[in-house]
Chain A
Amino acid sequence: MSIARVLGWLATLALAAGLVMGFGVAPREATQGNVQRIMYLHVPTILVAYLAFAVVLVASIVYLARRADAADRIAHASAEVGVLFTGICIVSGSIWGKPTWGTWWTWDARLTSVSIFFVVYLGYLLLRGAVDDPERAARYAAVIGILGALNMPLVHFSVYWWRTLHQPPSMLKPGAAAMPPSILAALLVNLVAFALLYAYFVVKRSRVLAREAEALG
């Protein structure tokens, strides 16, 4: 079996385990009720999106330094999956916000910075499509891939630096997580599941990109 296949099956199993943890094992949260279970989708997707854009950053630096096409393909694939996951995070957060906050959307620092984040990497993908010469497309994209990562600390720390409607992180913060172990366990299983899904998508996507390049060149 190829790596992609193994990753695909692992991700499928982990996602199933994540659903069991999120809906079967974790308790109904005391303050919010069952709508809190959206968190098992919302938090892992953004954390894996951070990972995806960190990979874009590193792969872009490697590409500019070594001009290795493989690094460019990994950056391209990783950005695509990162945008997908960020989109899922935003949509699920909005659906959660309506019954809990009382609004689908508000322009606080967290929601604004994550929107900018999303748009920058969407721009990255659009730019890749707009430039015909693959070498130039890769070079320009690498610059955006590096600059876009500047926004990452802004997204994460916005809830500490400014007053926001969005609450601060519960898991990715100094000190113990502010939640019972069963909720934390459900989050961690889902985090692993989405990380595996990310890896599967990136491996598969960069292979397709490699074969596209082969077919063209």
Chain B
Amino acid sequence: MSRRGRFVAGGAVIAAALAYLIYSGVTQSAVYFVTPAELQAAPVAGKVYRLGGMVAPGTLRWEPTTLALSFTLTDGKASVPVRHHGTPPDLFGEKRGAVVEGRWTAEGYFSATQILAKHSEEYKAPHDGEPAGYKGMMKTLSTDGK
């Protein structure tokens, strides 16, 4: 094999290895969260999940004195009651996207250790109607995370 040929072959091997590494690294974090419907289909008590959905309107309760937070996450097909102890991030609110980390409990609610607010790609000038976040979140939920 010529010098050039070996160089090309070596490059191809490195390329394949690198592509594989990158791909496997990303796909491991690819299913970043499960949806309420996926969780409800096969809930395992005590298992750690990352759950993503929209905070259902009228379900958010927060006690600033005890820091007890409860709400329902929904994807339009199923909903999951979530409880948490702490202060949620700024963008967290009803009709907005959120991703929560925690465990599904035997008592039938999701006990979250961390609350993350999911932002949409929409930006708005002040007094521009509906809070951004809702549409983008629903879009994410409708695409199937492979």
A and B directly contacting (CB within 8 A) = yes
Q: Which residues of A contact B (CB under 8 A)?
A: 27-33, 36, 39, 99-103, 106-109, 112-113, 116, 120, 143, 147, 150-151, 154, 158, 160-165, 167-170, 173, 178-180, 182-183
Asked whether, in the complex, the Cβ of B29 is within 8 Å of the Cβ of A108, the reply is yes
Segment touching A, from B11-19, B39-47, B55-63, B103-111: B11-19
B66 CB within 8 Å of chain A: no
Among A100, A112, A143, A163, the most chain B Cβ lie within 10 Å of the Cβ of A163
**Contacts known (A116-B26, A179-B123); A167 close to B91, Cβ less than 8 A:** no
Contacts of B114 in A (CB 8 A): 102-103
**In whole angstroms, how far apart are the Cα atoms of A27 and B99 in the complex?**
28
**In whole angstroms, how far apart are the Cα atoms of A120 and B25 in the complex?**
13
**In whole angstroms, how far apart are the Cα atoms of A183 and B125 in the complex?**
8
Asked whether, in the complex, the Cβ of B22 is within 8 Å of the Cβ of A150, the reply is yes
Contacts of A160 in B (CB 8 A): 143
Asked whether, in the complex, the Cβ of A143 is within 8 Å of the Cβ of B11, the reply is yes
Asked whether, in the complex, the Cβ of B26 is within 8 Å of the Cβ of A112, the reply is yes
Among B15, B22, B33, B145, the most chain A Cβ lie within 10 Å of the Cβ of B22
Q: Which 8 A-B pairs have the closest CB atoms?
A: A102-B89, A179-B123, A163-B145, A162-B30, A30-B124, A170-B121, A178-B122, A167-B121
Contacts of A183 in B (CB 8 A): 123, 125
Contact of A108 among B32, B128, B132 (CB under 8 A): B32
Asked whether, in the complex, the Cβ of A164 is within 8 Å of the Cβ of B123, the reply is no
**Contacts known (A27-B125, A100-B89, A154-B22); A163 close to B117, Cβ less than 8 A:** no
Contact of A109 among B15, B18, B26 (CB under 8 A): B26
Contact of B119 among A28, A100, A107 (CB under 8 A): A100
Asked whether, in the complex, the Cβ of B119 is within 8 Å of the Cβ of A168, the reply is no
Task: With CB as the reference atom, state the residue of chain B lying closest to A173.
Answer: B121
Contacts of B125 in A (CB 8 A): 27, 29-30, 180, 182-183
Contacts of B145 in A (CB 8 A): 162-163
Asked whether, in the complex, the Cβ of B91 is within 8 Å of the Cβ of A100, the reply is yes
Contact of B123 among A147, A154, A178 (CB under 8 A): A178
Asked whether, in the complex, the Cβ of B22 is within 8 Å of the Cβ of A116, the reply is yes
Asked whether, in the complex, the Cβ of B121 is within 8 Å of the Cβ of A168, the reply is yes
Contacts of B19 in A (CB 8 A): 147, 150
Asked whether, in the complex, the Cβ of A165 is within 8 Å of the Cβ of B123, the reply is no
Contacts of B120 in A (CB 8 A): 167
**Contacts known (A31-B133, A163-B143, A165-B32); A113 close to B26, Cβ less than 8 A:** yes
Contacts of B33 in A (CB 8 A): 163, 165
Asked whether, in the complex, the Cβ of A31 is within 8 Å of the Cβ of B14, the reply is no
* Cβ distance B143 to chain A, nearest Cβ, rounded Å: 7
Among B23, B25, B33, the most chain A Cβ lie within 10 Å of the Cβ of B25
* Cβ distance B16 to chain A, nearest Cβ, rounded Å: 10
Contacts of B115 in A (CB 8 A): 102
